[in-house]
Amino acid sequence: MSGPLSGLRIIEMVGLGPCPFAAMMFADMGAEVIRIDRPPVAGAANPFPMLGTKYDVMARGRRSLALDLKQAQDRATLLELVGKADALIEGFRPGVMERLGLGPDVCLQKNPRLVFGRMTGWGQDGPLAQVAGHDLNYIALSGMLHAMGRPDTPPAPPLNLVGDFGGGAMMLAFGVVCALLEAKTSGRGQVVDAAMVDGSALLGAMLYGFRAYGAWNDQRGSNMLDGGAHFYDTYACADGKFVSVGAIEPQFYQLLLQHTGISDPAFQQQMHTPAWPDLKQKLAAIFRSKTRTEWCAIMEGSDICFAPALDMAEAPQHPHNQARQNFIEVDGVTQPAPAPRFSRSVPDVPQPPAQPGQHSEDILRDWGVTPNTPATSAS
């Protein structure tokens, strides 16, 4: 395998959401990531039918080993693999790995250099540590959800990007890489406690600074970056499609006025916040006068800070995304390409997702855990 993480061996305890996303990031960058899947159970209910198919994009690039961790021999097999790994990542509730006899103490005793990455919503400790939750709940507690949406509506769920993937998976991946770098010097592994509520709060660092300074208030939809400003928002066009405008800097704002043909002197006081609602209505009427295609012809490629709001069918077809190869096709499924880019250690194109247990024999052979080892006798 190629890529900047080539040579690293990482064990992924298969779960949902942020942990698979972090594992995908590692695999995209060339790490050898093996998925520890549960053995398939015939007739078992599956609320996510795309899992285990080629449409399970976050499972790309990894081989799969099926282990029943309720069985002592399979737990022993996992510990043999832990002894040969650089990192293990898991996304269970606090205490689950310990109850299986596979907690950090046991794993670090087996491999003192192991980085044990833990992904939860609320963290490994605290009053809510054992409570169920989802992305929406974690970003709600961080203060970020309240800031999203229009002033006359409840806070708008921002998909599951802020908690699961931004505040969760990416923080886990960053933490694990940090610990792996530190282990090169110390020779010692450690536990990485990544919590979505922590990461979501950290994503809001700039906004918390603005608020402390007095440049942000808690009235949703009244600030510069939350849709309150007429020059930083989305607008409907004549064809019902949308465009985005982010003309914050004065020179970009002047280009916006020029390209929209605005001569109204009220628009010259860009930062006069009491006028923003009225200016937004006027600008909305202007954008409704042309189709999105017409506005793209007028504005795209200029310094207005403009882009059409594309849907997921349109985005892969945009000339800029095509030029950058931002989307790839794997086994007939269009999906985002690995990111970021590297000038020298370029990763391979990801392999399609594996079926649970598809590579069990190959993984055990390649990692030197042989069928003759008592720990693997039932694997």
Q: Rounded distance, CA 77 to CA 32, Å?
A: 18
* 13 close to 36: Cβ distance less than 8 angstroms: yes
* 120 close to 199: Cβ distance less than 8 angstroms: no
- 164 catalytic per annotation: yes
Which among 56, 68, 134, 259 is annotated as catalytic?
Answer: 134
Cβ contacts of residue 233 below 8 Å, gap of 6+?
A: 227, 244, 245, 280
Q: Rounded distance, CA 133 to CA 145, Å?
A: 15
How many Å is the Cα radius of gyration of the chain? 25
* 219 close to 233: Cβ distance less than 8 angstroms: no
| Structure tokens that stand for 40 in this block | 């398939």
3-state SS, 300-367, equals CCCCCCEEECCCCCCHHHCHHHHHHCCEEEECCEEEECCCCCCCCCCCCCCCCCCCCCCCHHHHHHHC
The phi and psi torsions of 47 (rounded to 5 degrees) equal -75, -10
Strand (E) or helix (H) holding 194? strand 190-195
Q: Rounded distance, CA 67 to CA 74, Å?
A: 6
* 338 close to 20: Cβ distance less than 8 angstroms: no
| Structure tokens that stand for 14 in this block | 């298969």
Which among 86, 135, 164, 233 is annotated as catalytic?
Answer: 164
Q: Rounded distance, CA 299 to CA 214, Å?
A: 33
First-to-last alpha carbon distance for the chain, in angstroms, is 26
Give 275's DSSP letter. G
Residues with catalytic function: 134, 164
